[in-house]
Amino acid sequence: MIRVDGLHKSFGSVRAVRGISFEAPDGRVTGLLGPNGAGKSTTLRILYTVMKPDAGSASIDGHDVVKSSLDARRCTGTLPHGAGLYPHLTARENIAYFASLCGIERSNIEERVENIVDLLEIKDFADRRTKGFSQGQRTKVALARALVHDPQNVILDEPSNGLDVMATRSLRELILKLKDAGRCVLFSSHVMQEVAALCDDIVIIADGRVAIDDTAEGIREQTGCDDLEDAFVAAIHRVSPE
Amino acid sequence: MIRTIFTVFSKEVLDNFRDRRTLASALLMGPLFGPLLFAFVINLSIERSLSDVEKTLELPVLGVEYAPTLIDYLKSRNLKIIAAPEDREAAVASVKSGLHDVVIIIPRGYGEQMANGIPAKVELVSDRANTAADRDARRVRNVLYAYNQELAAIRLSARGVSPLVLRPLNIDDIDVSTASGRSGILLGMMSYFFIFAMLMGGMYLAIDTTAGERERGSLEPLLALPVTRDRLILGKIIATCLFMALSLMLSLISFFFALKFMPLQELGMTPNFGPRVVVAAFFLLAPFILLGASVMTLVASFTKSYKEAQTWLSVVLLAPTLPILIVSLLTLRPRLEFMFVPSLSQHLLLIDMVKNEPVNVLHVVISVTSTLLLGGLLTWLCARLYRREGLLG
């Protein structure tokens, strides 16, 4: 479970995140929705500990992302935006490398990799070097890599970017599988439909602030819009009227 | 801790070995480029210096018929007399135009002047501004001077005077350089080849640690793993060191074989570069590996892209030449304080070894420890900088 409390982060004079709070509970899919530059990626980067917040705090399964970042990372699987693979290694080697870095026992690595290869249905190209992989294949391998240590929490930054219909579909199935297994899934997107189709909870972010944090149903009610896209626009206008 | 570092290390090694093109440039460029260039330069200089004595020089002489004794003398000095232009003007013009490097003109009155014991006029036409031609002209001039001396000695003897009258000074030029010592001058440049090859061997990996990973998009997933960044960068720097060591070893070996095919004895040089020296040179230069790896990683970590990193690292490739160059230009002898300067200390010690001169143990100790310490310090700095947020670009 992921808890975010009053995060602030600035880059020079740009205030990317100004007071974001929300919770992503276990067994649910939480969507971080917002226009480009709203502060989604920065929030997630703070969560997977490659950045430190200027103010506020965040924790994953009770581990503070600043004070005990190693523990926080240990129980999190991360797919950063535009995650890249090592082109001279095969898909399987890419996954095994991360498994080994995560501290999985050497004797168990092969089995773990095998399981995740099955789960993500990447057997067909698992033994090929990843150079020249399609965007869909690459995302799947990057996901497998992120999930190989069986993390309780999963953070995905715009995972469906550049994926075709079939790949998006299998990604959606995977996210639902994780949810059914009781995992906490937090993912960001700027596509309304995708979030609506998948998420139990939706956190709409605009201008570095939370515009609305509710279920899809709740958002429709709060904004008085039947159509989620209208609701999205209405919610954003609340924080940044222009 | 050790396991994580080893995991990173072995992945980097595997990755680098699979990348054929960068591997070729890392492990072949340095070791091959150095000895080849070296062999080229040496052969060129040998050819030039040997040409003076050994090659028969074609010498156009105008008025051959007036001085048969002189002509015989010239022939005995490995000069081949060929037909000259028909008159004096044509001879001068031919040298001016570069057709001939040097022409000798013997005027009609030569025989008569010689018989009467007055200085007989001989003209030597050359172009002193043309350095290549001047070498041949100098050779001919020296032959004429020698003939002059010989005739003078004969004439003095005929008058009962000792020819020694003409030699009030007996100049004896004593050259104390040994054959190995002379090679040191030329072989001095090879220490830079080794440092160059070393740096080339690790350049790709050093860039990959920061700029490369970032450009590929694999940096963030890596940093999001439950691993401290110190271990990641240590594993990468150790892998960089391995490739630098490999490259150094290959270039030492390739030099060892290349020197066997170079006719250095003809230049009066016998470099001391046997298997023992090769091994000693490896351990002497090895401390520079850590320093080179950390400097390259450090410089690359500030760049925005792979391309930019390559540009900056080519400056790093040249940096070790600076102290070597300055000391060579000022022709300074090895001193204790020089041993604190990396690249320079290795250079000076290597030269001593190649010259077969006793190597100062204290100098070696200072060179090794100061270079290692600096390398360790910079590695620590790399690790510090690997923690900052700006790394993400």
* CATH code of the domain in which A10 resides: 3.40.50.300
Question: Given A97, A127, A150, which residue is the final one in a domain?
Answer: A150
- Using pLDDT thresholds of 50, 70 and 90, give the confidence band for residue B99: confident
Asked if A83 and B220 come within 8 Å (Cβ–Cβ), the reply is: yes
Looking at CA atoms only, how far is residue B220 from chain A in angstroms?
Answer: 6
Instruction: Closest CB to B221: pick one of A51, A146, A149.
Output: A146
Segment B249-267 shows an average pLDDT of 81
B388 touching A (Cβ < 8 Å) = no
* Same domain? A157 vs A242: yes
* Same domain? A234 vs A198: yes
> A57 — phi, psi (to 5°)?
-145, 165
Please say if the pLDDT value at position B225 is more than 80: yes
The terminus-to-terminus CA distance of chain A in angstroms comes to 35
B47 touching A (Cβ < 8 Å) = no
Give chain B positions within 8 Å (CB) of A85.
216, 218
The CA R_g of chain A, rounded to the nearest whole Å, is 18
Burial B166-186 (b: 16+ CB within 10 A, else e): eeeeeeeeeeeeebbbbbbeb
Question: Given A134, A150, A166, which residue is the final one in a domain?
Answer: A150
Looking at CA atoms only, how far is residue B290 from chain A in angstroms?
Answer: 24
Please say if the pLDDT value at position B372 is more than 90: yes
Segment B312-322 shows an average pLDDT of 87
Residue B52's pLDDT is 55
Q: What is the pTM (predicted TM-score) of this model?
A: 0.80
* Same domain? A94 vs A167: no
Which of A51-65, B41-55, B376-390 comes out lowest in average pLDDT? B41-55
pLDDT in tens, A194-227: 888 889 999 999 889 998 898 888 888 888 887 7
Q: How many independent structural domains does chain A possess?
A: 2
Residue B328's pLDDT is 73
Please say if the pLDDT value at position A241 is more than 80: no
Residue of A nearest to B10 (CA): A97
Residue B100's pLDDT is 87
Q: What percent of chain A has pLDDT over 70?
A: 99
Q: Could you tell me the residue range of the domain that residue A106 belongs to?
A: 83-150
Segment A22-46 shows an average pLDDT of 93
Asked if A89 and B15 come within 8 Å (Cβ–Cβ), the reply is: yes
* Same domain? A21 vs A57: yes
d(CA A139, CA B314): 35
- Using pLDDT thresholds of 50, 70 and 90, give the confidence band for residue B351: confident
Which tokens go with B48? 């030039």
Which tokens go with A57? 């705090």
d(CA B212, CA B229): 16
Give chain A positions within 8 Å (CB) of B225.
73, 98, 101-102
Segment B201-227 shows an average pLDDT of 91
Please say if the pLDDT value at position B334 is more than 90: no
Instruction: Closest CB to A84: pick one of B3, B15, B218.
Output: B218
Spell out the CATH class of B56-166. Answer: alpha beta
Residue of B nearest to A49 (CA): B224
Give chain A positions within 8 Å (CB) of B228.
70
Residue B49's pLDDT is 62
* Same domain? A43 vs A1: yes
Cα dihedral A60, A66, A68, A69 in deg (nearest 10): 70
Q: How many CB pairs under 8 A join A and B?
A: 79
Which tokens go with A209? 């602030």
> What is the ipTM score, two decimals?
0.92
For chain B, what is the mean pLDDT?
85
Bridge partners for B58 per DSSP: B80
Residue of higher predicted confidence among A66 and B327: A66
B15 touching A (Cβ < 8 Å) = yes
Please say if the pLDDT value at position A179 is more than 60: yes
Give chain B positions within 8 Å (CB) of A97.
7, 11
Which of A21-25, A28-32, B26-30, B103-107 comes out lowest in average pLDDT? B26-30
Give chain B positions within 8 Å (CB) of A73.
224-226
* Same domain? A40 vs A59: yes
Which tokens go with A211? 């515009």
Asked if B218 and A86 come within 8 Å (Cβ–Cβ), the reply is: yes
* Same domain? A144 vs A157: no
Residue-by-residue DSSP string for A186-211:
EEEES-HHHHHHH-SEEEEEETTEEE
Burial of B121 (0-12, 13-18, 19+ CB in 10 A): exposed
* Same domain? A187 vs A242: yes
Segment A37-54 shows an average pLDDT of 93
Question: Given A150, A185, A206, which residue is the final one in a domain?
Answer: A150
DSSP reduced 3-state for A76: strand
Asked if B389 and A50 come within 8 Å (Cβ–Cβ), the reply is: yes
If we measure between CA atoms, which residue out of B318, B369, B315 comes closest to residue B342? B369
Which tokens go with B142? 């020296």
Residue of B nearest to A71 (CA): B226
Asked if B8 and A98 come within 8 Å (Cβ–Cβ), the reply is: no
Asked if A88 and B389 come within 8 Å (Cβ–Cβ), the reply is: no
Secondary structure in 3-state letters for chain B: CHHHHHHHHHHHHHHHHHCHHHHHHHHHHHHHHHHHHHHHHHHHHHHHHHHHHHCCEEEEEECHHHCHHHHHHHHHCCEEEEECCCCHHHHHHHHHCCCCCEEEECCCCHHHHHHHCCCCCCEEEECCCCHHHHHHHHHHHHHHHHHHHHHHHHHHHHCCCCHHHHCCCCCCCCCCCCHHHHHHHHHCCHHHHHHHHHHHHHHHHHHHHHHHHHHHCCHHHHHCCCCCHHHHHHHHHHHHHHHHHHHHHHHHHHHHHHHHCCCHHHHCCCCCCCHHHHHHHHHHHCHHHHHHHHHHHHHHHCCCCHHHHHHHHHHHHHCCHHHHHHHHHCCCCCCHHHHHCCCHHHHHHHHHHHCCCCCCHHHHHHHHHHHHHHHHHHHHHHHHHHCCHHHHC
Asked if B389 and A84 come within 8 Å (Cβ–Cβ), the reply is: no
* Same domain? A206 vs A124: no
Please say if the pLDDT value at position B185 is more than 60: no
* Same domain? A166 vs A242: yes
Looking at CA atoms only, how far is residue B356 from chain A in angstroms?
Answer: 46
- Using pLDDT thresholds of 50, 70 and 90, give the confidence band for residue B8: very high
Please say if the pLDDT value at position B256 is more than 90: no
Which of A133-147, A159-173, B7-21 comes out lowest in average pLDDT? A159-173
Residue of higher predicted confidence among A96 and B175: A96
Bridge partners for B126 per DSSP: B102
CA distances from B222 to A50, A80, B177, B218 (A): 10, 10, 58, 6
* Same domain? A127 vs A163: no
* Same domain? A123 vs A175: no
For chain A, what is the mean pLDDT?
91
Domain ranges of chain B: 2-46+179-392, 56-166
Give chain B positions within 8 Å (CB) of A84.
216-218, 221
Per-range mean pLDDT, top range of B139-148, B170-179, B189-198, B368-377: B368-377
B121 touching A (Cβ < 8 Å) = no
Segment B237-246 shows an average pLDDT of 95
